[in-house]
A = this chain, B = another copy of it.
Amino acid sequence: MNNLSDTITAISTPIGEGGISVIRVSGENTFQVVEKILSKSKESFKKINIGDISSHTIHFGYLYDGDDIIDEVLISIFKSPNSYTGEDVVEISSHGGVFVTQKVLGLVIKNGAVHAEPGEFTKRAFLNGRMDLSQAEAVADLIHAKTNEAHASSIKQLEGSLSEYVKKVREDLISVTALVELELDFAEEDLEFAHKKDLQKRAKSIISDLEEIISSYISGKVIREGVNVVIAGKPNSGKSSLFNALLKTERAIVSEISGTTRDYLEENLIINGILFNLTDTAGLRTTEDIIESEGIKRSYGRIKGADLIIFLVDSSASSEEIKLSIEYYDRNIKSDNSILVYTKADISSNEDIKKDNLVISINDINLLSELKKEMTRKVSTSLSAVKSDSIILTNLRHKICLENTVASLNNVIKSIDDNMSGEFISIDLRNALTHLGEITGSVTNDEILHYVFSKFCIGK
């Protein structure tokens, strides 16, 4: 764990080859660290005094490691408190190779900075009051967004929509709590500032609002993480072919030999703005091939965790085989979240199946698009929620905070029903306030901070 007095550094751009990489440095010694390695001349080391430079300006220079020039760079200067973290910050734009970027990072560390932990820059931004906790989480969501909906919901949260809502509810609760506690102070005078029935009504109204937001979480999860779809079925039912046809790529190796897919493959696919995380599984059968049976074991694991299962039956197989597959499906797979699909329509002569069922052929785009429609329909409740203007909860932590708030408020209602004394009511109200405050971080602790920021990438 780094100390707040440490000057931290990390590569803030994605790792890989590109034109530019940015190495960020933040903390009280940032300028001293950079001045040790930054020269305005390539003939010999000539120090640049960052103290003499205005904030929010960019400067060309050479990075020196001893006598060697490591790179030509641009340096962006941000002076405290006007920076992302609120501290003194320098962003070094180096040439975007993996090796040279690591070399610059190493040089900065050698000269007094320590390597930043995941999310540590944003954590400092939060601790320095540059953003609240739900906005910090929105930064991570924005970076991970893969669809328009996920992007829009995280921008909304970054701009403070959830924060403002929570603030409003908290203010409401604080005024109620104040009344209850005022009454306690004047208990001997037997005054009743807070009419108990009014209090109950307000609590119930807040609960109903919160529950609506909590119920948006299912849609929110789909928006943020996508729908986990598993393509399953007996060996050679056409799983890899469908997987490829859906992805329009040759990602999976297709062959006519059963057991070609030894492990599972995973890819993302966006249909009608919904992110589907598609998994192709090893065929469901017993096998003596050690490697393949490891793959099958993993397949079962994937099916258990799926939001949607597409189960394939080869419509060109014998009636007996089809019957066995359907029995397997009915017994082990069938649910509200499963789709039964007959494959290989182009080489099947079984007209009965074609009449009554969802039948596809990877060579028939119209049939494939029927399947895509069915996949979208299964998650359509989520889809409609996306289109509304209300707040959508995408974050499990926020959901738990809101559920805890509701639980505390339910205790308030119960205490009033049971004619409990004001002290009990006050405790539950304060608990509700605490849980709400945990969303924006106005109430927080190390555990919450660790939970939130450990999900960040390094460099943010």
Contacts and interface: CB of A to CB of B under 8 A. Distances in A.
Interface string A414-449: 000000000000000000000000000000000000
A162 to B, nearest CB: 16
Interface string A184-209: 00000000000000000000000000
Interface stretch (A169-177, A253-261, A325-333, A398-406): A253-261
A96 B291 contact: no
A374 interface: no
A31 interface: no
A347 interface: no
A459 B460 CA distance: 22
A254 to B, nearest CB: 10
B143 A12 contact: no
Contact of A13 (B19, B71, B144, B289): B19
Query: Interface size class for chain A?
Result: 35 or more
A59 interface: yes
B291 A459 contact: no
Contacts of A99: 145-147, 150-151
Contacts of A16: 14-16
A420 to B, nearest CB: 46
Task: Give the one of A57, A70, A147 with max B CB within 10 A.
Answer: A57
A370 interface: no
B291 A260 contact: yes
Nearest to A42: B159
A406 B155 CA distance: 62
Contacts of A71: 142, 155
Interface in A117-145: 121, 139, 142-145
A292 to B, nearest CB: 11
A289 B10 CA distance: 48
A20 interface: yes
A82 to B, nearest CB: 9
A288 B151 CA distance: 50
Given A58-B56, A97-B143, A99-B150, A14 B15 contact: yes
Interface string A48-90: 0000000011110000000011111000101000000000000
A396 interface: no
Given A72-B158, A257-B290, A97 B142 contact: yes
A19 B459 contact: yes
Contacts of A450: none
Contact of A95 (B69, B142, B253): B142
A95 B57 contact: no
Given A95-B142, A150-B99, A291-B253, A12 B18 contact: yes
B457 A144 contact: no
A365 interface: no
Interface string A5-24: 00000111111111111101
Nearest to A147: B99
15 contacts: A10-B19, A13-B14, A14-B96, A15-B16, A17-B457, A19-B24, A19-B460, A22-B22, A56-B59, A70-B155, A97-B143, A97-B144, A99-B147, A99-B150, A257-B289
Please name the 6 residue pairs, one residue from A and one from B, whose CB atoms are nearest each other, closest first. Answer: A14-B16, A19-B460, A14-B18, A97-B143, A12-B19, A19-B459
Interface of A: 10-22, 24, 42, 56-59, 68-72, 76, 78, 91, 93, 95-100, 103, 121, 139, 142-147, 150-152, 155, 158-159, 253, 255, 257, 260, 289-291, 457, 459-460
